Amino acid sequence: MLFNSLFFILVFLPLCVAGYYLLMRAGKAWAQIFLILMSLWFYGYFRPSYLPIIISSILVNYLIISLIIKDGRKTVAAACLFAAGLIFNIGLIGYYKYSGFLVWNIDHFFDAGIPIPQIVLPLGISFFTFQQLSSLIDAWKGRLKRIDLREYALYVTFFPQLVAGPIVRHDELIPQFEDGTKDRPDAQAFLQGLMWFALGLAKKVLIADRFGEIVTAGFGDISVLTAADTWIVMLAYTMQIYFDFSGYSDMACGLASLFGFKLPQNFDSPYRALSLRDFWKRWHMTLTRFLTQYIYIPLGGNRKGMARTCINMMIVFLVSGIWHGANYTFILWGLLHGAVVVFDRLFEKQEAKIPAAVRWAGSFFVINILWLLFRADGIRDWVVLVRRLFSFGAGIGISDAVAGALGEPWQAACLYVSALALCLLAPNNYKRKWSFHPAVVTAVAALFAICLISLNRVSVFLYFNF
């Protein structure tokens, strides 16, 4: 089920919220069971075959974590359980996400004639697997002292963050579930949640999807793109992926607020970053936190000298690239990000002397170039596109396909300028001081109505693919 669908907004969400608060009066256990069932309905709406995967994942992880907690010491038995949990989770995501890629490589390099398995990638498997890995590791480290099946199942399945994050830690959400005092909605938090959801929906429907039309037109046939086309399409994808993923995260936080819960921040105006290091402190913050806490620090972090620090950084970004998808474009994307971050780390004192505007322009350009790789179907296509950016002999005009997607020149100019201004100047919704003045509420309600009218064609969120 999609947040940006009329069925979700007009049917599922009202039923879910009303049912939850009605059952909270009978006891939080009944309300939590109801919310788990609704979340499973949300998850399996398009493909019920996903349900056995997530349910088995929850049960296996719960059993292993509870046995580790019960052991209470780092015994051989607990170590074996921990290893089994790691193998299970990594094996699950590896099978569904990377087995086809691995078989393709074996067949390609050895001409083995092996049929490529057509495995359907379950929605959000990277997100709910990483979330459960964090609980497993915390249980092994002694940071998770108790576990309840009902609360753990809700922690994993809670529909606002289930399929595209943010990646939530158990100590952020489960204590909120344990609070049984929220048996009725808080008026201010509820209204804030509605407004937050509406603003996120506007990011997706009115901005990201509009840029998506330009990106789709450009990538339809990259061989005909001119230099001008390539710049236009590259910038369009940079804006599309930001407003698409940021919009989802805003909607997730808004939805959680309707139930009286708070999700962690996932974005902090990343396109304001003055370096790639700064960018990764602002973009997909919960993934960066996970990789830092569970990979970078255990590898030694920055405690073992500069050379080891740089190697650890490269490993983290390699994992980030692999996490995003089974394609060499994602692997190279992660490695190139890692290389630039390492460069920033090595020359941070020298970079600090460069004017902020120059540092921002350079960083934003690199981000754009690497987003182009992220979107390209293959590395060769990316190389062609990068060359096309500077091959003005290929033509400085705009092709018919891109021109058709852009629309009127003044409309296109307003779209790009407004989107960049929002990225650089608008307040972050997570840190916004929400105003409930009637004029503000009316304006947001009007924006929400425009979004509903625009939902004639529902588009999938980009990060559903990861």
Give the tokens for residue 17: 């919220």
Picking from 121, 412, 271, the residue whose alpha carbon sits closest to that of residue 280 is: 271
The tokens describing 92, both together, are: 């699950």
Q: Which one from 108, 170, 284, 324 is the annotated catalytic residue?
A: 324
SS (H, E, C) 196-259: HHHHHHHHHHHHHHHHHHHHHHHHCCHHHCCHHHHHHHHHHHHHHHHHHHHHHHHHHHHHHHHC
Q: State the Cα–Cα distance between residues 341 and 268, nearest whole angstrom.
A: 18
324 is catalytic: yes
CA dihedral 347, 348, 349, 354 (to 10 degrees): 100
Q: Report the run of H or E that residue 304 belongs to, with start and end.
A: none
Q: How far apart are CA 38 and CA 157, in angstroms?
A: 9
Which of these, 457, 404, 393, lies nearest to 232 by C-alpha position? Answer: 404
Task: Find the length of the chain.
Answer: 466
- List the end-to-end C-alpha distance of the chain, in Å, as a whole number: 16
Pair 448, 198: CB distance under 8 Å: yes
Query: Interhelix angle for 149-157 vs 28-44, to 10°?
Result: 40
Give the pair of three-digit tokens for residue 195: 């407004």
Burial 119-128 (b: 16+ CB within 10 A, else e): eebbbbbbbb
Dihedral angle sign, alpha carbons of residues 54, 59, 62, 67: negative
Residue type, 182: K
Token pair listed for 321: 């690239």
| Spatial separation of the C-alpha atoms in residues 98 and 107, rounded to whole Å | 14
**Coil/strand/helix, residue 75:** coil
State the helix-helix crossing angle for 209-219 and 409-425, rounded to 10 degrees. Answer: 120
Is the separation of the CB atoms in 177 and 151 below 8 Å? yes
Instruction: List, by residue number, the catalytic residues.
Output: 324
